[in-house]
Amino acid sequence: MPSTDSAAVIVARFLKANHYNETFEAFIAEAGLPQNAGITNQGDWTIEKILEEKKQFDSSLAFEKKGDDKNRGWSLPAPSKAVEPQVPIQSNVLCVSGCGQGDKEDEVILITTADRSWARVSPAVPFSLLGSIPNAHGSPVLAISSLPGGYILSTSMSGQLALHGSQGRLLDKCRDHLKYAVHVVSGLTRHGRWIVATAGWDQKVHIYAPESELAANFEPHGQSHLRDDEPYIPGLLRDPIHTITVPTNPESMVLVQHPDTMDLYLVVSRRDSTFLYYYRITPTAAESSSSRSSEVTYSVQETGKQNLAPHSNAWVAFTPSCLAVCPTDPQLLAVATSHLPHMKLIVVRLLFPTATYDPNTNTAAVADSQAVTPASQARAALALQDREDSAIKLHVSTMAPQTPYSTPQVVWRPGGHGVFINADDGVIRGVDTESGKVVAILKAHEVGSKVRTLYAGWEAGGQKEILVSGGFDKKVFVWRVDSE
């Protein structure tokens, strides 16, 4: 019987089988497929094209970095038992996250779905529903994050940013993105001021400095006449302190502090670029515990970039689609990439810029006392490549299948012992960040469904770790440590 699989599916099966030393023709024969398998449409891949793809895949293996065969980065016990929380879900799950008062014992689980709602779930068995907002936004909620004190930030497909209180009351909202606000992150300056950044598919990144004191001291007396969709504290989010315009859509962001200066940096990845871009956020007015946020102004300056593929070429190109900071080492970053046919995972140490950076030329300025010659520029470029290459601790293929429409996700285990990644086959994989090996396979979502989002945190009491997953099978699972 003729094969109904497309050429892309067949080559993915071939690569997944790890037949690195076997010809594609032999694989076709062994699988019982006709010699023209996958060639169903005029203009579809030919056998020659598939063989060329195989050669490029083999070449890309030379750029991978792996550890030894010992699983030193994966501790046991690890989450492996799936529990379905007592939460009614009627649509695809878009985001899961955690929110607390700054202590892991106070953590709650947040779930957003395509029906424009989000829910608060207890982190204790049986993971019951604590509360929900049926229409948190006017469109599906794509991302959710939290600030100290239980404040909740969320963004939607319409480009809106909303700030809710710990009990779900809308405090403020704004719409500065033209469409698809896909990511929101938050952090604190050295004096505890709020900084919030949103990324949208309008090729914009907006940075906000909300008035944290106003939110903390606000007393909602006489506000009972407000509707649920009217903000309690209009203007709390304020206008963006800075807007970054990028050539392609931003994909992911993290807010981290410099280990020496304690300056706050926004690290951004964007589509079709293998670089991380660094933006330093510094106050231009006095920032002290006694001054109001409205009196503080900030400067946002692009300070440098870091290549995640310093010695690569066309066939290993990828987009860093999800960035996750290690909870035990804030200078260590896990990167899930949009790479076909399988996700690549990169673990890299952040290289905070040390020289003056010229964003117009994308290069670091050379000291005035140093003569600039083609030879010196070549040596400097090579030295930079070697430094960027040394910063990459792990660069491996996870064999997690992806398509051009995938949304790669990676989360660290809360103790920093390995990461979990999603996939489009309904499977969650645990990866040892020392050896690069897939050491855990978690199956509960429907086979072949997209696992859209992941969150790793603590069960109530802070003693056992959990993993929360949500997918396009309209299900959420809390993965517990199996104590039996």
Give the pLDDT band of residue 45 (cuts 50, 70, 90): low
Range from 3-12, 185-194, 266-275, 386-395 carrying the lowest mean pLDDT = 3-12
Q: How far apart are CA 381 and CA 366, in angstroms?
A: 11
Quote the radius of gyration of the chain (alpha carbons, Å): 24
Q: Which residue has the higher pLDDT, 76 or 29?
A: 76
- 253 lies in the same domain as 358: yes
Same structural domain, 249 and 377? yes
- Same domain? 106 vs 49: no
Q: Where does a domain end: 61, 88, 107?
A: 61
399 and 477 share a domain? yes
SS3 string of 252-277? EEEEEECCCCCCEEEEEEECCCCEEE
Q: Tens digit of pLDDT for each residue in 79-122? A: 999 999 988 898 999 999 988 644 555 678 999 999 998 899 99
Task: Mark whether 83 and 56 lie in a shared domain.
Answer: no
Pair 336, 206 in one domain: yes
> Does a structural domain hold residue 70?
no
Domain that holds residue 237: 79-481
Do both 42 and 90 map to the same domain? no
Please compute, for residue 293, the number of CA atoms within 13 A of its CA located in the half-sphere on the CB side: 22
* Last residue within a domain, chosen from 15, 35, 61: 61
Instruction: For residue 121, tell me if it sits in a domain.
Output: yes
- Would you say residue 24 lies in a domain? yes
Residue 71 lies in a domain: no
Q: How confident is the model at residue 42 (pLDDT cuts 50, 70, 90)?
A: very low
Phi, psi of 6 (to 5 degrees): -80, 165
* The pair of three-digit structure tokens given for residue 373, joined into one six-digit string: 């010659």
DSSP character at residue 311 = T
Task: Select from 479, 478, 476, 480 the least CA-distant residue to 118.
Answer: 476
> Residues 410-456: pLDDT tens digits?
999 999 999 999 999 999 999 999 999 999 999 999 999 999 999 99
Least reliable range by pLDDT among 31-45, 98-112, 260-274, 343-357: 31-45
Structural tokens at position 465: 């770790």
* Strand stretches in 3-123, DSSP E: 79-83, 93-99, 108-113, 118-121
Residues 447 and 397 in one domain: yes
Q: What DSSP assignment string belongs to 103-151? A: SGGG-EEEEEETTS-EEEE-SSTT-BEEEEETTSSSS-EEEEEEETTTE
Query: The pTM is what?
Result: 0.82
pLDDT at 109: 93
Task: Provide the CATH number for the domain around residue 342.
Answer: 2.130.10.10
Q: Is 43 among the domain residues?
A: yes
Question: Are residues 52 and 100 located together in one domain of the fold?
Answer: no
Domain assignment present for residue 67? The answer is: no
Residues 12 and 88 in one domain: no
Task: Spell out the residues 6+ positions from residue 125 whose beta carbon is closer than 8 angstroms to its own.
Answer: 83, 459, 480
Cα(473)–Cα(387) distance, integer angstroms: 43
Q: Does 290 lie in the same domain as 219?
A: yes
Residues in the chain: 484
Domain presence at residue 2: no
Total domains in the fold of the chain = 2
Q: Tokens 């063989």 appear where?
A: 51
Q: How far apart are CA 177 and CA 154, in angstroms?
A: 13
Structural domain includes residue 233 = yes
Average pLDDT, the chain: 82
Residues 142 and 180 in one domain: yes
What integer pLDDT is reported at residue 239 of this predicted model?
93
**14 against 300, higher pLDDT:** 300
